[in-house]
């Protein structure tokens, strides 16, 4: 059992982010939902942190 590193929600089972290795609830499991430290180089093209892009699904 673990807790989401982002919101602290308790979870059954383990869902570790495959990029940073931390556990997150389903809601925060996606790297972009928890400011994943393992994917900083995703966004090297520009230093924009606008949320104009939201098409992960």
Tell me if 24 sits within 8 A of 34, measured CB to CB: yes
**Of residues 4, 12, 14, 55, which one binds Zn ion by CB under 5 A?**
4
According to the binding rule CB under 5 A, does residue 6 interact with Zn ion?
A: yes
**Of residues 2, 15, 19, 30, which one binds Zn ion by CB under 5 A?**
19
Nearest distance from C-beta of residue 30 to Zn ion, angstroms: 8
d(CA 35, CA 24): 12
Tell me if 19 sits within 8 A of 1, measured CB to CB: no
According to the binding rule CB under 5 A, does residue 11 interact with Zn ion?
A: no
According to the binding rule CB under 5 A, does residue 29 interact with Zn ion?
A: no
């Amino acid at each position: 059992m673990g807790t989401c590193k982002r919101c602290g929600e308790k979870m059954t089972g383990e869902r570790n982010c495959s990029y940073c290795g931390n556990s997150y609830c389903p809601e925060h499991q996606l790297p972009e939902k928890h400011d994943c430290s393992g994917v900083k180089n995703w966004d090297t093209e520009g230093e924009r942190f606008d949320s104009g892009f939201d098409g992960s699904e």
